[in-house]
Amino acid sequence: MAARIDHLMLNVNRFDDAKRFYSWLMPKIGYANQMEYPAAYGKRGVGFFSDAGSVWVQEAEQPYRDNSFHRHRVGLCEVAFAAESRTQIDDLAREVESHGGEITDAPREYDYVPGYYAVFFTDPDGLKLELVHVPR
């Protein structure tokens, strides 16, 4: 059996900004299908689907909306998505900031493993994301 994550759920404070950002980002990296949470769930959310699984973005619950993300706290550090090519990374990096994200580390080859090419960026709430291509 191949290892994989079935779904990932991200809590955000600025849901409207996050929804716009992820609605732009996710189809670009292969999560083409989108579904909104039903009103019965009690909070706003949107899911993005691919053959590999899904990523959900949901509004943080009210008591936690003043909290902010920091990648060095206990919990999530970053989410890295696989790119099909270096060109896909470069193209995405040129558009991130016009859609509400921020580039933290520009596209380049990193020395983690040979050929590791990535861009690091944040979503509107500061969640650290990465798009990476590693030749296999």
User: Which residue, among 23, 29, 26, has the nearest Cα to 44 in the 3D structure?
Assistant: 23
**Cα separation, 103 vs 106, whole angstroms:** 6
Per-residue DSSP letter, 73: S
**Cα separation, 40 vs 19, whole angstroms:** 19
**Cα separation, 30 vs 43, whole angstroms:** 26
3-state DSSP assignment of residue 18: helix
Classify residue 107 by burial, with Cβ atoms within 10 Å: 0-12, 13-18, 19+. buried
Cα distances (Å, whole numbers) of residue 3 to 6, 87, 115, 133: 10, 27, 23, 19
Whole-number pLDDT of residue 12? 94
pLDDT (tens digit, 0 to 9) for every residue of the chain, 136 residues total? 677 889 999 999 999 999 999 999 999 999 999 999 876 677 899 999 999 899 999 999 888 888 888 888 888 999 999 999 999 999 999 999 999 999 999 999 999 999 999 999 999 999 999 999 999 8
